Amino acid sequence: MVLEIILEKSNVKLLIKDGDKIVAQSGWDGDLSLSERLLGEIDNLLRCNGFSKEQVGKAVAVYDEESSVTSARIVQTVADAWNIASVARK
């Protein structure tokens, strides 16, 4: 499965996808709270839908050019860290 972290302007959306099928999603408005909420929201999404971190093999960051540079960097860093940790678990 894949975790997509999507940032569109100030909207944040989290998707867990199995192939092209969305199996879980959540989101909120306000990228100003991104650094405070992102990891907790990912954990909550996994837990509420019965998934473990090990089941999500890859994370992808998606952001548009209208997103703030800082928020885009946060999203990209979390996705990169997830992927590094996923490789280390194997």
d(CA 8, CA 67): 6
Query: What pLDDT does residue 56 have?
Result: 93
Listed by start position, the domains of the chain span 2-89
29 in helix, strand or coil? strand
pLDDT tens for the chain, residues 1 to 90: 999 999 998 899 999 999 999 999 999 987 678 889 999 999 999 999 999 999 999 999 999 887 888 999 999 999 999 999 988 766
Q: Facing residues of 40 across strands?
A: none
Question: b/e map of 29-54 (b: 16 or more CB within 10 Å)?
Answer: eebeebeeebeebbeebbeeeebeee
Architecture, CATH, for domain 2-89: 2-Layer Sandwich (3.30)
